[in-house]
A and B are shown apart, each in its own frame.
Chain A
Amino acid sequence: MAKEIREITIALSGNPNSGKTTIFNNLTGLRQHVGNYPGVTVEKKTGVIKYKGYRINVVDLPGTYSLTAYSLDEIVARNFVINEKPDVVVDVVDSSNLERNLYLATQLMELDVPLILAFNMTDVAKKSGKKIDIGLLSELFGTPIVETVGSRGLGSDELLEAVIKVVSSRKRKEKKVEVKYGEEVENEIGKIISVLKKEKVPILKFDARWIAVKLLEQDRDIIDTLKKASGPEYSKIEDAVTGSINHITSILRDTPEVIIADGRYGFINGALREAYKEVDSGKLDVSEKIDRVLTNRILGIPIFVLIIWLMFQFVFTLGKYPMGWIELGFEKLSVLITEIVPQGLIRSLLVDGIIGGVGGVITFTPNIILLFFAIALLEDSGYMARAAFVMDRIMHKIGLHGKSFIPLIIGFGCTVPAYMGSRILENRRDRLVTMHINTFMSCGARLPVYILFAGAFFPAIAGNVIFSIYLIGVLMAVIMARVLRATRFKGESDPFVMELPPYRIPTLKGILIHTWERTWMYIKKAGTIILAISILVWILFTFPMIGNNYSQDYNGQIEKIEQSYRSGEITEDELNEKAAVIEGKMAGERLTYSTAGRIGRFLEPAFRPLGFDWKIVVATISGIAAKEVVVSTMGTLYSIQEAEGQSDSLKTALYKHYHPLVGYNFMLFTLLYFPCMAGMVMFRKEAGTKEMLFQIGYTFLLAWVMSFLVFQIGRLFI
């Protein structure tokens, strides 16, 4: 019998994080092919195994929690099972989390396909004191169960044996186990099946009971398929289904969708009560103990806020020492170049343009390393998933999908991939709202701006100030999500099951690799884009040159002071001081005369109500290219403006020129206006030109209005 079938197709299904991909890799080794499912951009991985004379094709289905029609992955997975009719479906189940993982198994059972359950990670389950009676559970589910430990490659042969056995015996009718949903629902399922039969609805490749259940669940995909297949006849089915739904809802006081899900969980719980025991029942494992605190309803959010606050304290307090060393290094380099290269444009380009600009950005590398180190630590330990879980409730309250939190968290690193990450949201409205508010999740590129300004104006409480900016960003995201949901993007968000992987002690190697990858990108960016922009910014600040067009005869004034010194009227210190003041004025006029100065002055009136002078305006505009450029522009600007021999740090220079209120206001403005050019290119790709223009317009307007309010109200108190 077995020899008749030489080619077998297996579909591997399973929850995300169940170890499905590891099993797939164990089975297929390097014989894999990656493509797409037809018509959609969901990745399709296939592989081939030759085992005991069989050629076994393995298809890795997308990881899903269920087979509803909420996401593209789920539709792709179930359509593959229904349309391609694989010889066997192997559902990979995480043995340490049976209740949730078996939910998918119950849905596969309903599809009436040859099914094998691979109980993966049984070693972890056993270690944590869980005892599973595999034989009994297999009987209760009416399907073979094979134990596997994917991480150690155990159970692959047993799985293949089971596959061959199922395929060989498939003509023998096995006892089919069905999940029963209670008398009321079962009666209605029966009614719908009889209407389907009576009206001779083409149910295509589907099982009639399964169709009836899906219609009661109001599965959009199935409804659309049936409508297309049956044409006007569908109205009779629709009437029957509506009647059944109303009946169930009135009797059981809940929608059939909920009752059916409860039924499946009831079946799973019942089976587990029989065949599953926790040896130390009542005793919580470490993850559960930690979760009791970290994901607590009341404590969860304050703990999350505290952890983020600690992260910024860590980044700022620890980062300021190496930052100081790098700053000193660049100062010494400037002095060295000043000594080697004769005075002139080339020296100014090297010292003011490149060192002032790129050096200003490189200086913040230690902070970036620490920030990415902290994020990697939170991610690798499993806490980020908890943060997403804690925030899920809030997300729903502000009208966002729980999944939105993931791209929003990515936004703290860089907004560009965060826009791309929004693709995980199937619903366009959810996706657009998430993208539109992602701007306010302050990206890593803005951190140097905050560190510079907070360090200059609020050195004693810089960490707290930066934290407050991040917090305002989150708050603005919440408010704008609410506003956008109530105006441009009305509608309900889809439900979502949040995955909580167990806590892990992160490996130092893993964290260091993550941190280094991200840090290297930052340094690379400073050495390429920031360098190119710094050169252009320097040119804009230098040309056209002022020549003899100064408003006063500064050279004459310097001459006079020098004469006074020679005649002994003033001391050397007084000479230097007075000369520095005049040179400062000259540099100021040179900058004002330059192209950048003219642009800044032209736009200055629009920003005056925010307390910004033309220099800040130029920095703001240059920040459109990339936010770090704000720092490099300021560095170049103040380096040019500094009188020869005077070496105030950029922080000191800023502190001298602006009030702390203006400093804070500028940080706020930097936070709120759209992230950068690359971000906008991505936004256009993902959402179209109209949405990109909306993003640019509304964030700029919001930044202006907020900064206006802060400055105008703040100045009343100073």
Chain B
Amino acid sequence: MWEIIIIAVTGLAALAYLIIFFIRQSNKKNMCMGCPYTDECKKRNSNKL
């Protein structure tokens, strides 16, 4: 039983993390989620954004 409780809590935490993550990202003005190019992209587009 305790195994199920741990898994339920872990699963809910993972789900909550993903939901919050995506909501936060979609509210950001310039979303650079998981982007390896963030800095360069900002530099490249500094005159355009």
Contact = CB atoms under 8 A, between A and B. Distances in A.
A416 interface: yes
A231 interface: no
Given A416-B32, A420-B30, A539-B7, A532 B45 contact: no
A517 B37 CA distance: 8
Contacts of A517: 36, 38-39
A525 interface: yes
Contacts of A626: 34
A62 B47 CA distance: 6
A424 B45 contact: yes
A525 B34 contact: yes
Interface residues of A, number: 46
A345 B3 contact: yes
Nearest to B49: A41
Contacts of B14: 531-533, 535-536
Contact of A63 (B10, B18, B31, B47): B47
B14, B21, B49: most-surrounded residue (chain A CB, <10 A): B14
Interface string B7-39: 100110011011001100110001111111111
A521 interface: yes
Interface string A521-551: 1101100110111011001000000000000
A392 interface: no
A223 interface: no
Contact of B31 (A345, A416, A514): A416
A346 B41 contact: no
Given A345-B4, A345-B7, A539-B11, A413 B31 contact: no
Central interface residue in A417, A420, A423, by most chain B CB within 10 Å: A417
Chain A interface SS verdict (over half): helix
Nearest to B31: A682
Given A528-B17, A536-B15, A685-B31, A344 B3 contact: yes
Interface of A: 41-43, 62-63, 72-73, 344-346, 349, 372, 406, 410, 413-414, 416-417, 420-421, 423-424, 444, 514, 517-519, 521-522, 524-525, 528-529, 531-533, 535-536, 539, 625-626, 677-678, 681-682, 685
24 contacts: A406-B44, A410-B37, A413-B36, A414-B34, A414-B36, A416-B32, A416-B33, A417-B38, A420-B30, A421-B41, A423-B45, A423-B49, A444-B36, A519-B36, A522-B36, A529-B21, A529-B34, A532-B18, A533-B14, A535-B10, A678-B25, A678-B33, A681-B22, A685-B31
Given A424-B44, A536-B15, A681-B26, 12 more contacts: A43-B47, A43-B49, A413-B37, A414-B37, A421-B41, A423-B45, A423-B49, A522-B36, A528-B21, A529-B34, A532-B15, A678-B33
